[in-house]
Amino acid sequence: MPPAFSDVAVLRKGDPQGNRMVLRLTTHGGTTVHAVGVPQDWPSRTGPTWAYLFESDGATLVDPGSHGTFQELADGLKLCGYSVKDVDRVIVSHGHSDHDGSIAEMVDASDAELWTHGMYAALLPYDQWEVQDRSASPIHTEMNALADAAIDKREESTYRVRNKRYKESKKGLSVDHTVANGETFGDATVIHAPGHSPDELCLTFDGVVFTGDHVLPEITPHPTTKATFRKHIQEIIPNEFEDASKSYGLETYMRSLKTVIDLGPTYSILPAHRLYNRNRYNFQTVERAREIVRHHARRLNQILQRLTDDDPGLESVTRGIFEHGKLLGGNLYMALAEMVAHIELLEDLGDVEFTEDKQLRKTGSQHYRQFVAELLD
């Protein structure tokens, strides 16, 4: 039994990944958290998006799930003894389609208030690719060229169709309340945890932390690369978030992991994915955040080991670290972006540098070790 819970009841069994599974979790404090495994709208290796419902100054729903899956959510809530109209507020952990894709349907059907981070509200009308300007960085230019050359046009077309439906579903949507870091409602507290997404939120509640995609079991969330806001975006971003370096990049993500680590080892995480997989539960404590920091430390070391004067290119480093199956089609972009995020951190720490002819080389230092040690302290 995970530390935070005294009982785990299965209200409906799902498939081996947890799709359509419904759980009732009881904390040692006697409060109840319901969990619904909402299937995604495309074949995803991450499994369902777990939507959570709990009572804290009203019925609160975290992450309704993908576009086109609203009925799956509504059916799951019924098994928990709730209709969608019983929900008082919906909190979106971050603005990715597998988390907020059905938000418009949920709000329309329930009249619930929509609560998000201020960054989510500001960027709501825009696609994530419209927000950031990566063109100034040589390594981003190389990354995009490599990914474009390898992209599967059919895969790209399917993504564009799905993304168009997602964007259209949110037209006219408005945020009722923007939450701030440290804000409380009832017994719940908001944590702003950027890095995977600039608007990422976690919530603590009675020994539990709802982590969205910030901390996941089994898999490591994808960190963003560093970015600058495009000019028209810079003009509408709230002043406190106009410095994009505080919202994007691996350093930002790892510092946000430190915030979760500092909650203490007794907190159990309730993640947006992989709560259940391969016919078993993945209940973990916030020590999982510490494991993810160590993962990135190993990755930083791998890059320094692979970086040689003979072949210092991004593609060579990436292919030397990832197995072939993870470099096919759109996966190549994800792998390249992860490498770029780590190289950016190594450059900021002074462990690598770019030569005048834009070649990447090691400096001989390993300052990343001290950076990681401070996070794990």
3-state helix, strand, coil in the chain (%, to 5): 40, 20, 40
Condensed to tens digits (0 to 9), the pLDDT of residues 41-100 reads 888 889 999 999 999 999 999 999 999 999 999 999 999 999 999 999 999 999 999 999
Smallest Cα–Cα separation from 63: which of 119, 34, 102, 25? Answer: 102
Smallest Cα–Cα separation from 20: which of 68, 71, 59? Answer: 71
pTM of structure? 0.95
Condensed to tens digits (0 to 9), the pLDDT of residues 221-235 reads 999 999 888 888 888
Q: How many domains in the chain?
A: 1
Residue 363 sits at the vertex; the CA angle it makes with 359 and 367, to the nearest 5 degrees, is 125
Both tokens assigned to 240: 């406190």
- Residue 336 region by backbone torsions, left for phi larger than 0, else alpha for psi between -120 and 50, else beta: alpha
List of residues 6+ apart from 214 with CB closer than 8 A = 93, 193, 195, 196, 200, 202, 221, 256, 257, 260
pLDDT of amino acid 62:
98
* CATH number of the domain enclosing 320: 3.60.15.10
Residue 132 sits at the vertex; the CA angle it makes with 301 and 48, to the nearest 5 degrees, is 70
What's the chain's length in residues? 377
Residues 271-298 as b or e (16 or more Cβ within 10 Å = b): bbbbbbbeeeebbbbbebbbebbeebbe
Local confidence band at 326 (pLDDT 50, 70, 90 cut-offs): confident
Between 356 and 350, the higher pLDDT residue: 350
Condensed to tens digits (0 to 9), the pLDDT of residues 185-236 reads 999 999 999 999 999 999 999 999 999 999 999 999 999 999 888 888 888 8
Condensed to tens digits (0 to 9), the pLDDT of residues 22-31 reads 999 999 999 9
pLDDT of amino acid 319:
87
Name residue 116's beta-bridge partners.
178
SS (H, E, C) 318-374: HHHHCCHHHHCCHHHHHHHHHHHHHHHHHHHHCCEEECCCCCEEECCCCCHHHHHHH
Of 173-177, 309-313, 353-357, the one with minimum mean pLDDT is 309-313
Q: How would you classify the pairing of strands 22-27 and 5-12?
A: antiparallel
Condensed to tens digits (0 to 9), the pLDDT of residues 243-280 reads 999 999 999 999 999 999 999 999 999 999 999 999 99
How many of the other CB atoms lie within 10 Å of CB of 354? 15
Domain that holds residue 244: 5-376
DSSP code of 241? G
List of residues 6+ apart from 253 with CB closer than 8 A = 194, 195, 196, 221, 223, 224, 341
Amino acid of residue 134: R
Site of tokens 């409602």: 185
Site of tokens 């030397």: 320
Helix (H) or strand (E) holding 51: strand 49-55
Task: Output the CA–CA distances (angstroms, integers) from residue 190 to 29, 63, 130, 151, 186, in the order listed.
Answer: 19, 14, 27, 38, 11
- Residue 127 region by backbone torsions, left for phi larger than 0, else alpha for psi between -120 and 50, else beta: beta
